[in-house]
Amino acid sequence: MRQASQSKQRGVGRRWLNLESLSLDNWLYRPLSLLSILVVWIVFSRIMGAQVLPGPVSTMEFLWEQLERGALTRHLGITMYRVVVAFTVAMLLGVALGVLMGVSRVVDRLLEAWLIVGLTVPRIMLFVIAYLLIGLNDTSAIVALVITVVPTIIVQLREGARAVDGKLIEMAHAYRRSNVAIWRKVIFPQLLPYFIGTARGALSLAWKMVVLAELLGRTSGVGYQITFYFQMFNMRGILAYGVAMMLVLAVIDLTFVGLMQRYGFRWRRSGRYAA
Amino acid sequence: MAGIRVSGVSKSYLLPDGSEREALGQVDLTIGDGEFVCLLGPSGCGKTTLLNILSGLDSDYRGTVRFTDVRSGTSGSQQSETDVGMGGAEPVFSYMFQESRLLPWLTVRENLRFVLDDEDRGVRGVARIDDWLGRVGLEGSGNYFPSQLSVGMQQRVALIRSLIIGPEILFMDEPLSSLDELTASRMRDELLNLWTEQVPTVVFVTHNPLEAVYLADRVLIMSPGPGRIIHELQVSEELPRPRSSEDTRLWELSRECVRILKGKARDPAGSVLDV
């Protein structure tokens, strides 16, 4: 029943496109979209020549080679390690500061300037400065990554904390509920959608920025491999590692979308049953 | 069971320009154990302010609020008095708001469980919840989310949430004013039926004179600027229970309330009453 009402809503929203008149089954659109990318890639590869722009098949061959040699897993692993550490630290820091800034006016005012600087500073500068101040090592890469990601986490969780419904907290106080119960049952469920949404954005941002960090000052990781093949004018290598990064990010992203649909909004989706 | 004794309670707000605005001026009031009292007055006369002070949600006021605990005395003659907010000695309060204030991410059953204490949550708690749902005609909707219910049904859930904990004092802040008149009048009778089973002390805030005289043992008429009680109307002698909503004496008493309220409207304060 729920399925039916959803597809009905979807139909209303997209009527102007009149996609319903196409007799393709719903599940076919996504593979079709993916296929069109491959087709464009192949066409351009043919036009420009396989030496300049290798096609998907030749790129996948190269990727497979790298996998067999162990280079792919090693570099992907290192990159992933940097992202996971930076992401974890950034989330802990960003959630705490964001909620604090959302709840307390004083903290908000005190940290406002820092936040604005963090949001506006050119990302590439952060990495350069970190390498110069701390040295060419993993610590500076991770520190710069954390600083890159934290401001966006703060902004979203501050928004979430501000949107917490004070009337519901008042209700819980009127029924003399404990602070633990209020955090678990009243405040946390309101922050959860913000939390998952933020985590998704932060992880994909860290995943994109880590390549920059490695390109500028590391001798391992996917970013380094891309610079390496750039210096060799090896387009196959660049494309192969690019595709690998995209695939991993896509898997992460789809996992988050699944999480969001399962936990974040279950109670919002259910349709009405009585008037 | 418990009564309330209020003496010299007043409250003022600090305005942004530094001056004070008196919201409540010198309220003295005694409410007996098991008495149904309505606070009647126009919007902004301090009814909700007084209710929040009595229920302990607002502790920033001058004066004293005491609760007379009749239970602790074996013969009923012994009375102990406790200050509001004193912890263990406080009577069991519950509060029904103008909006249902159900937690949207919890089902109806979980919402009722939320206000029960840990020791009441076992198998007996489940039976108790189902029993209460049945009493207001909501059997079988325990697993729905609030958003799946109509406003009237949500307010019924809020009503049984306020009664399921076995309150000694029940505070109600215009709980029926957002409902259509037909639903509201049906719920008034449900409320009276449930009240006669437990006979908690009720403080019911309303701006509807007819509702006040239909429900209350005693109507306290309030006037704004600063909020105070200007008149007391003993209803229980003129209108013995059970009452009929068709009773013409109801209309006479209601008109008397309006006369008193309008008489006060020509006050030098010049506030316009919306009754």
**Which chain B residues touch A195 with a CB distance below 8 Å?**
none
A79 or A19: which carries more pLDDT confidence? A79
pLDDT at A11: 44
**Which chain B residues touch A171 with a CB distance below 8 Å?**
95, 97, 101
Q: Rounded mean pLDDT of chain B?
A: 86
Q: What is the total residue count of chain B?
A: 275
Helix axes A71-103, A138-162, angle to 10 degrees: 40
CA distances from residue B26 to A267, B23, B181 in whole angstroms, order as listed = 46, 10, 34
Q: Which residues of A touch B (CB under 8 A)?
A: 167-168, 170-177, 181, 185-186, 189, 266-268, 270-275
pLDDT band at A17 (very low <50, low <70, confident <90, very high): low
Q: Rounded mean pLDDT of chain A?
A: 86
Residues 6 or more apart whose CB falls under 8 angstroms from that of A201 comprise A152, A156
Report the distance separating Cα B248 and Cα B226, nearest Å: 33
Q: What percent of chain B has pLDDT over 70?
A: 88
Contact call for A174 and B55, based on CB within 8 A:
yes
- Tens digits of residue pLDDT in A111-129: 999 999 999 999 889 999 9
Instruction: Enter the ipTM.
Output: 0.86
pLDDT band at B240 (very low <50, low <70, confident <90, very high): confident
Is the bond into B146 cis (omega within 30 degrees of 0)? no
Instruction: For residues A41-49, give the mean pLDDT.
Output: 94
DSSP 3-state assignment of B136? coil
Amino acid at A259: L
Please answer whether residues B23 and B13 qualify as being in contact, where contact means their C-beta atoms are separated by less than 8 angstroms.
yes
For residue A72, the number of C-alpha atoms closer than 13 Å in the C-beta half-sphere is 21
Contact call for A186 and B149, based on CB within 8 A:
no
B21 or B89: which carries more pLDDT confidence? B21
pLDDT band at B87 (very low <50, low <70, confident <90, very high): very low
The pair of three-digit structure tokens given for residue A122, joined into one six-digit string: 């050119």
DSSP structural state of residue A272? P
Instruction: For residues B129-141, give the mean pLDDT.
Output: 91
pLDDT at B269: 46
Is the bond into B226 cis (omega within 30 degrees of 0)? yes
Asked if residue A14 has pLDDT above 60, the reply is no
- Tens digits of residue pLDDT in B43-67: 888 899 999 999 999 989 999 999 8
pLDDT band at B77 (very low <50, low <70, confident <90, very high): very low
Long-range contacts of A114-117 (CB under 8 A, 24+ apart): A115/A151, A115/A154, A115/A155
Angle among Cα A57, A62, A63 to the nearest 5 degrees reads 95
pLDDT band at B25 (very low <50, low <70, confident <90, very high): confident
pLDDT band at B210 (very low <50, low <70, confident <90, very high): very high
Instruction: For residues A204-230, give the mean pLDDT.
Output: 92
pLDDT band at B113 (very low <50, low <70, confident <90, very high): very high
Contact call for B93 and A174, based on CB within 8 A:
yes
Report the distance separating Cα A136 and Cα A219, nearest Å: 10
Long-range contacts of A52-58 (CB under 8 A, 24+ apart): A52/A235, A53/A235, A54/A235, A54/A236, A54/A239, A58/A236
Instruction: For residues A62-88, give the mean pLDDT.
Output: 94
pLDDT at A50: 87
Q: Which residues of B27-58 are buried (b: 16+ CB within 10 A; e: fewer)?
A: bebebbbbbbbbbbbbeebbbbbbbbbbbbbe
pLDDT at B33: 92
Instruction: For residues B159-181, give the mean pLDDT.
Output: 94
pLDDT at B70: 59
pLDDT at A7: 43
- Tens digits of residue pLDDT in A170-203: 999 999 999 999 999 999 999 988 888 899 899 9
Asked if residue A4 has pLDDT above 50, the reply is no
Please answer whether residues A195 and A157 qualify as being in contact, where contact means their C-beta atoms are separated by less than 8 angstroms.
yes
A30 or B94: which carries more pLDDT confidence? B94
Contact call for B104 and A267, based on CB within 8 A:
yes
B196 CB neighbour count, 10 Å cutoff? 11
Q: Which of residues 80-119 of B touch A (CB under 8 A)?
A: 93-95, 97, 99, 101, 103-106, 114-115
**Which chain B residues touch A186 with a CB distance below 8 Å?**
103
Location of structure tokens 């102990």: B80
DSSP 3-state assignment of B155? helix
Report the distance separating Cα B83 and Cα B62, nearest Å: 13
- Strands B36-40, B201-206: pairing is parallel
Instruction: For residues B193-200, give the mean pLDDT.
Output: 91
Mutate to test the interface with A, among B105, B154, B183 (most CBs of A within 10 A): B105
B194 or A13: which carries more pLDDT confidence? B194
A236 CB neighbour count, 10 Å cutoff? 21
**Which chain A residues touch B94 with a CB distance below 8 Å?**
174-175
The C-alpha of A181 sits at a distance from chain B's nearest C-alpha, in angstroms, of 8
**Radius of gyration, alpha carbons of chain B:** 19
Q: Which of A3-12, A61-70, A231-240 has the lowest mean pLDDT?
A: A3-12
pLDDT at A265: 66
Size of interface A-B (CB pairs under 8 A): 58
